[in-house]
Each structure stands twice: as C-alpha cells, then as structure tokens.
A = this chain, B = another copy of it.
Amino acid sequence: MGIKEELVLIKDIQKETILISQTIALLGWDQQTYMPRKGVTSRAEQTAYLNSLIHEKMISPELYSALTRLEKNKSRISNDEKLMVEKMLKRVKRARKIPAEFVKEMSIAITQAFTAWEKAHKNNDFSMFKPYLKKIIELKRKEANYIKLPGHIYNSLLDDFEEGMTVEKIKPVFDELKNKLIVIIKSIEASEEYKKQKNIYSKREFKKGKLMEIIKDILSRMGLTDDIMRFDLVEHPFTQAIGHNDIRITSAFRKNPFFFFFASIHEAGHGLYEKNLPEKDQYNILGQSVSLGLHESQSHFWEDRIAKGESFWEYYFPRFRKHFKIKDKKQFYKEINQVRGGKIRIEADEIHYCLHVILRLECEIGLIDGSISVDDIEKVWNEKTKEYIGEIPKNDNEGVLQDVHWSDGLVGYFPTYAIGVLYSSQIYEAMIKNNPRIESEISKGNLGKVAEWLKENIHKHGSKYTAEEIVKKATGKGLSCDAFISYLNKKYSKIYNL
C-alpha cells in the first residue's frame, strides 16, 4: 500500500466506526425513551455486538500498520491528516495494550457490579456492593498499568475522558478551588440573608405544558430547532447526537419544578456543542467532541452562567410571571441560585457541587494508587463529606452509594464535571470581555449571539486541539479556578449581601 491507499484506509475506518457509534447512540437513546420494557435483552446483545465491532476495527493489524507507516511519512501528508494519524494512533495503541481476555473480564465485572449496585442501593447497604467495587478497582488499576502514561497512575484512566489532563495538573487547581469554596460557603452561611432564606416558588406546581413551551422557545433561540433536534422526557436526562443534524435532548420532571427547567437547558448546552461541531469532519476523529470536561463546560455554561443569570431573567421573567402568576422577581432569582448544604451531588447548588466532585476525585486517586482501601472507603467518604460539605451522610445512599459511576467501571470520569465548571466560567468571562454588549443581547432574549460566539471560539475546533488548548485559545489561560471564584464572589456577595 502507498500513502494514498493508507490514507483512504484510515479515513474509511474512522467513518465506519463513527457510523457504528452513531447507531449505538440510537440504540441507547431508544432504550431510554421508547423501547418496550422486555426489549432489554435483545438490546444488550445488539449494543454489545456493535461495540465489539468497533473494538475489532480499532485493533486490526491493517489499521495499525497504515497508521505507523503514515506517521513515518508525516512530512508527505497535510496538517489535518498528520493530526488525525497522531490521535488515531494514540487510541489504537491504547486499545492494543489491553488484552482481549481483560476486556471480557472487565465487561463481566461491570455487569455484575451494576446489578449489585442496584440491589445495594435498593437496600441502602454498601456492604452488598463492596466486594464488586473491590473487583472493579482491582481491574481499573490493572488497566492503568497496561496503559502506563507518564506520572501518576491515575493519569492513565483520566486521560481516557479528558485527554492531556493529569493529576499533576488538576490537583493544585482543585486544592485551591476547594479551599476557596469552603471560605465562600462559610461566609454565605454566616450571613443574615442565608439564615432567613426561604423556598416559595420551588414548592409550587408549574404547569408542565407551559414549562415545556418556554423550554422549546429557549432551545430554538439557542439554535436547536425541531428540524435537527428531538426533545423527549425520560427517567434520567441525557443528550445523544445520532448524526450531524440529529440531536436528541431529553429531560425529566421532578417535584421541584426548577429541576426540569435547568436540566433541560443543561442538556441543550450539550446538544448545541454537538450540533456545532465541524460538519466537514463529521466522519473523522477531528470532528468529534474533544473531552467530557469541555462537553460539561457547555452544559454548565448554559445552565449556570446563562440561565441562572440576571440578564436572562430580564427577558424570561415576564413570561414566567404571566404563565405561573409569580410576582417577586428578587425572591425568584434568589431561589434559583439558593445555596444550601446537602449530601447528594446531583441536588447540590453550583458552589457545593465542585466540592462533591473533588471528594470523589480524592477517593478515586486513593483507591487507584492504593493509599485508600475499599474497606475504608465509606469512612473516608463520610469524613470528607463532613469536612467539605459540613454534614455526615446518615446512610449509604446519602454517601458512598449515591453515584452509579463506579459500578459502571467509570473511574477517572468524575473530575471532568468540575473541569467543566471551571472551563465554563473561564469561557463566559472571555465572552463578556470580547463582547461587552452581549449581556444586553441576552436580556433581550437574543441567545443566538451567545451560540454564535461559542461556535466560533469553542465548538468549531472539534478535537483539533485538546480541551485545554481550546480554552486557552478562547480565554488566554489553561485550567484555572480564578474565573469561577471571581464569578461566585461577585454573584453571591450580591445575593447574600456579603
């Protein structure tokens, strides 16, 4: 094979694996939206088989030899092709480092651990999950040792979700973040305003149809119109891109009416990122989303920076007032931004949220490098919760059993949530700096201006750069908690009269 044929081959395989992934995404979306209950057995077979097909393609000798030959001849291919080869080769090498028996062992361990977690969660009893967690941690450590990236052993797991990010990089940022958040929380909790804060609107019942109408209006102003997007109700909200112009957003109604509202906008942030990825690269690696952290930055951007901001409500409050007969704009704004403790991550406000994530990251690092044993994890979890959040979980479901991630083999995933929060603040700060008039556009409901800026500065890059490089290009700075802390100080000193 010559260079031309090798390029064709690696482009073909990228396209094939992307088409299979899109199909897997549809199988997953359908499973959580419309599939009849008993379809689950066939669905597991379909998904497992298509996943194995991708793996097979990724470790095929033809692909590997084409990539290594192209790498040796990189002076003869274009810059984009060079980048493609580099990124593909990294993935292929990673996949080839992991023995087939290990993949099988992990897949069985996950299936068992997930079932055990469900049972344990139902019985609120961590001891039922513990032996399975031990197995998962043992295997994840083994996996990290197969991959063996430089530096801390945890890097090999983290890199899979957040390419280029390392313990060495995030640890100091997260430590600083943790200390500063605790200071902010203490000063809020000491305020008069905090002591007298109350819940009025979050206990009301809002008409679902009207909420839906407003959400549809917001999504379409963001650029998510019905010709390229579906919006469905599910148990746990998620977003899937099935194709370039086929974005599936889902949301859910809970007791608190704000849950649906902000979860929908959060998911729309994910959806908009997928929609704006470069169309010309849709069937190669450069056109895909770059990392979970950058993805999460987009959902937090819309949920926390935009939809919980004052400008946004200048436009939308009159609509809420009209539909839901609410009058007190100040109370409403305070309530959607209310700071309150709480031991459950997914119910946390935006200040406590990152502390939950940091707690998990510290646990994961300890479990993987061996400084924390699974036998001690409950104790460590509870102590850290007391230290960072101020309360001790009353039971396992409020503590170490609350998240499904570990049972799914996802270790190295949690930190991307906080990375997303930090990036979203950095990006928002840069957007305002570049466009001093953009907040007044938001207050007129012109969300399209924001979407355009994000497309131009974040989305259009696909994965031509790492997430941190993209953020650096857009904001002048790599991962940092400065923007987030300064945003929190400004916003919450106003809300709590600090």
Chain B residues positioned under 8 Å from A42 (CB to CB): 22, 242-246, 282
Q: Are B244 and A36 in contact (CB-based, < 8 A)?
A: no
Cross-interface CB contact of A39 among B30, B38, B43, B228, cutoff 8 Å:
B228
A243 to B40, CA, bound (A): 9
Task: Mark contacts of A17-54 with chain B using CB atoms, 8 A cut-off: 1 yes-contact digit, 0 otherwise.
Answer: 00110110011001000111111011101100110000
Among residues of B, the one whose C-beta sits closest to the C-beta of A33 is B34
Q: A residues 241-295 with Cβ under 8 Å of B?
A: 242-247, 282-283
Q: Are A45 and B27 in contact (CB-based, < 8 A)?
A: no
The yes or no answer to A138 lying at the interface (CB within 8 A) is no
Give the bracket for the number of chain A residues in contact with chain B.
35 or more
Copies of this chain in its oligomeric complex = 2
| Complex A-B, nearest 10 residue pairs according to Cβ-Cβ distance, in ascending order | A42-B243, A39-B246, A38-B245, A37-B227, A19-B49, A38-B228, A38-B227, A36-B228, A19-B46, A39-B243
The yes or no answer to A329 lying at the interface (CB within 8 A) is no
Chain B residues positioned under 8 Å from A45 (CB to CB): 19, 243, 283
Among the interface residues A16, A36, A46, A245, which one has the most CB atoms of the partner chain B within 10 A?
A: A36
**A342 CB to nearest chain B CB (Å):** 36
- Apart from A19-B49, A39-B228, A39-B246, what 10 extra A-B contacts exist at CB < 8 Å? A26-B26, A26-B27, A26-B30, A36-B226, A41-B243, A42-B246, A43-B243, A43-B246, A45-B243, A45-B283
The yes or no answer to A230 lying at the interface (CB within 8 A) is yes
**A11 CB to nearest chain B CB (Å):** 14
A34 to B248, CA, bound (A): 10
Chain B residues positioned under 8 Å from A228 (CB to CB): 36-39
A36 to B38, CA, bound (A): 26
A22 to B49, CA, bound (A): 12
Among residues of B, the one whose C-beta sits closest to the C-beta of A24 is B23
Cross-interface CB contact of A23 among B27, B227, B244, B246, cutoff 8 Å:
B27
A246 to B36, CA, bound (A): 6
Identify 22 residue pairs between A and B in the complex whose beta-carbon atoms are under 8 Å apart, listed by A's number: A20-B49, A23-B27, A23-B50, A26-B27, A26-B30, A30-B30, A34-B34, A34-B230, A35-B230, A35-B246, A36-B228, A36-B229, A36-B245, A36-B246, A37-B226, A37-B227, A38-B228, A38-B245, A38-B246, A42-B243, A42-B244, A42-B245
A394 to B283, CA, bound (A): 48
Chain B residues positioned under 8 Å from A244 (CB to CB): 41-42
Q: Are B22 and A23 in contact (CB-based, < 8 A)?
A: no
Chain B residues positioned under 8 Å from A229 (CB to CB): 36
Decide yes or no: A243 and B19 within 8 Å by CB, A26-B26, A26-B27 being known contacts.
no
**A58 CB to nearest chain B CB (Å):** 16
Cross-interface CB contact of A46 among B23, B35, B230, cutoff 8 Å:
B23
**A281 CB to nearest chain B CB (Å):** 14
A41 to B228, CA, bound (A): 11
**A28 CB to nearest chain B CB (Å):** 11
**A240 CB to nearest chain B CB (Å):** 12
Task: Mark contacts of A221-244 with chain B using CB atoms, 8 A cut-off: 1 yes-contact digit, 0 otherwise.
Answer: 000001111101000000000111
Q: A residues 42-86 with Cβ under 8 Å of B?
A: 42-43, 45-46, 49-50
**A283 CB to nearest chain B CB (Å):** 8
**A172 CB to nearest chain B CB (Å):** 42
**A246 CB to nearest chain B CB (Å):** 3
Q: A residues 458-487 with Cβ under 8 Å of B?
A: none
A15 to B15, CA, bound (A): 24
Chain B residues positioned under 8 Å from A15 (CB to CB): 49
Task: Mark contacts of A145-185 with chain B using CB atoms, 8 A cut-off: 1 yes-contact digit, 0 otherwise.
Answer: 00000000000000000000000000000000000000000
**A387 CB to nearest chain B CB (Å):** 47
Chain B residues positioned under 8 Å from A30 (CB to CB): 26, 30
**A187 CB to nearest chain B CB (Å):** 47
A361 to B22, CA, bound (A): 40
**A464 CB to nearest chain B CB (Å):** 21
Task: Mark contacts of A297-324 with chain B using CB atoms, 8 A cut-off: 1 yes-contact digit, 0 otherwise.
Answer: 0000000000000000000000000000
Chain B residues positioned under 8 Å from A36 (CB to CB): 226-230, 245-247
A30 to B248, CA, bound (A): 12
**A18 CB to nearest chain B CB (Å):** 9
A26 to B19, CA, bound (A): 14
Among residues of B, the one whose C-beta sits closest to the C-beta of A39 is B246
Task: Mark contacts of A481-496 with chain B using CB atoms, 8 A cut-off: 1 yes-contact digit, 0 otherwise.
Answer: 0000000000000000
Among residues of B, the one whose C-beta sits closest to the C-beta of A246 is B39
Among residues of B, the one whose C-beta sits closest to the C-beta of A30 is B26
